[in-house]
Structure 1
Amino acid sequence: MEGEIDHRATRRDFRAGTLARAELNPDPWVQMQRWLQEAESAGNFDPTAMALATADSNGVPSVRYVLLKHFDVRGVCWYTDNRSQKGQELAANPHAAIVFYWPELDRQLRLAGTVALLPEEDAESYFRQRPLGSRLAAAASEQSLEIADRVSLEARVAELKAHYPNGDVPRNPAWRGYRLAPQRFEFWQGRSNRLHDRFVYTPDGDSWRIARLMP
């Protein structure tokens, strides 16, 4: 390919830190919160950005970034239009995987599990907390459907803004919240010479089993 870049010349070593078994909290949720806070302290632009991988009923995968909005021991949550590609795929195949990447610390966090819709009232509550521009955009967009041009999209937003001059734009019922309940966490710390530290948490009764994986 003309102009192809040889990425072998851009390789770098990972020297930001190490990860030992003794440093891990027995609870992966506590460990996850710790890493999120450390990523923010390290200057990550948006530590809550996470790549969400879904697959359709035939197992064909797709992936995109979404934003983590809240989490607890039941799972990690985000919001989107259920008419979107990811919404349709999750309706057909409720298994998904997520990865966070924090390059400032040479860290990744992977989660995998099943996904379920949050209650309508959760979506309504969060929708009301969003800035007006975000609410207008969500209400105007039928996510992932084709549209003729940018002008048409902006016209839909302008029409909604005129119709709701007080800013009380309603949530489209298709705009919902999702929760992934992990059955697996993997904490990955980049190390020199590609001898990375990897630890996986899997359910073990009422607690979690922690195992080290080879890199």
Structure 2
Amino acid sequence: MSPESLLCAQQECYQHGPRRRFDQVFPHLHVDKHRKVAFLSASWRFILQSNPQRTCIYCRPARKTLNPSYMTSDTSPLGLLNADRQRARELGDPAAPLCVLALATMAGEPSVRTLVLRDVTSTTLNLFVNRSSPKWAAIDAGARCELLVYYSSVDVQYRVAGTLKSIDQAVIEENWPYRPTPAKYLDYVYQHHQPQSSPVADRNTLLGLFDDLRAEYPEDTLSAPAGAAGLQLVADRVERLDLSMPDRIHDRRLYKFDGNTWQVQTLVP
């Protein structure tokens, strides 16, 4: 692919002025001696793959109204989140199964991590974790948290706030066998060797723990260890930011749960 094929499709761009080469708009790109564009990260490859017109992401044509197959009768914020999540999955968005969870440690320090978002219901978001994690003490203490998801494929972001509670252990035991094999053995590492976030001599030492466990516990003998756990984020506040508006003025809405229904406000973006 030559740089000339990466011209912005717009004759004029409000963000960048006259038509420009894609690699001029994005200095993150470089061109090798064969005149092919090389991307520095998978995220940039995704931008190009999901943008077949080769337009700059700031000036590409606005997305069309949602396909009816994505429309949902559930207008609650978590219903909208589920619909946007499904769209992102079908577009191959690598962030579709993920979320970012933020909470405060027992010392009051901010703590952020990326997790797999297992499920979204009408009022909760479900996560699988391990009780050996340092964050469990803050969770047991009833810490509030905020969860963020961003799907670049559909230009939408959600911030979800609420309280965390444990998922019933019977649910964990029922679902744990469907976890990926490495994740199962990682739970066994926590249970039999070292807790999550504890230091280890080097990566080879860590991999050796997995090898020892595979030899001692064949996969068909594994069952959910006591430390395997799940969390429900009971949402009471959701903010949705839609970045794909035709007029380029983002649509930002705040949803608050009053105990019975969601109340919505429009915010200045």
CA apart distance, 1:107 = 1.0
In structure 1, what is the equivalent of residue 232 of structure 2?
A: 179
Q: CA deviation at 1:185?
A: 1.1
Paired with 1:106 and 1:139, the residues of 2 have a C-alpha distance of 38
Question: Structure 2 vs 1, CA of residues 24 and 12 (structure 1 numbering), >3 Å: closer, same or farther?
Answer: farther
Unpaired segments ≥5 residues, structure 2: 1-25, 29-55, 66-71
**Distance (Å, rounded) in 2 between the aligned partners of 1:139 and 1:63:** 24
**2-structure distance, mates of 1:28, 1:194:** 22
- TM-score, normalisation: structure 1: 0.83
Distance 1:189 1:74, change over 3 A: closer
Residue 75 of structure 2: SS of its match in structure 1? coil
**Unaligned segments of structure 1, at least 5 residues:** 1-7
Match of 2:254 among 178, 195, 200: 200
Compute the displacement of 1:40 (Å).
1.7
Using the alignment, how far apart are the partners of 2:156 and 2:219 within structure 1? 44
User: Is 2:65 the partner of 1:27?
Assistant: no
Which AA in structure 2 matches 1:29? Answer: L
Distance 1:126 1:175 in 2: 11
Partners of 2:258 and 2:59 lie apart in 1 by: 32
Structure with the larger RCO, 1 or 2 (CA within 8 Å, 6+ apart): 1
Do structure 1's residue 101 and structure 2's residue 146 form an aligned pair? no
Contact 2:126 2:233 in 1 (8 A): yes
Q: Contact 2:181 / 2:219 at 8 angstroms: preserved in 1?
A: no
Q: Which moved more, 1:28-37 or 1:174-183?
A: 28-37
2:58 to 13, 16, 33: 13
More off after superposition, 130-139 vs 46-55: 130-139
How many residues in Structure 1 have an aligned counterpart in Structure 2? Answer: 206
Letter in 2 for 1:184: R
Match of 2:103 in 1: 54
1:188 equivalent in alignment to 2:246 = no
- Tell me which protein shows more strand as a share of its residues: 1
Q: Deviations over 1:23-70 (max 9, x none)?
A: 995322321111111212333124121010011234311111101111
Overall identity of the aligned pairs, in %: 25
Of 201, 206, 216, 1:148 maps to 201
**Structure 1 position 14, deviation (Å):** 6.9
Residue 114 of structure 1 contacts residue 182 of structure 1 at CA under 8 Å; is this kept in 2? yes
RMSD: 2.8
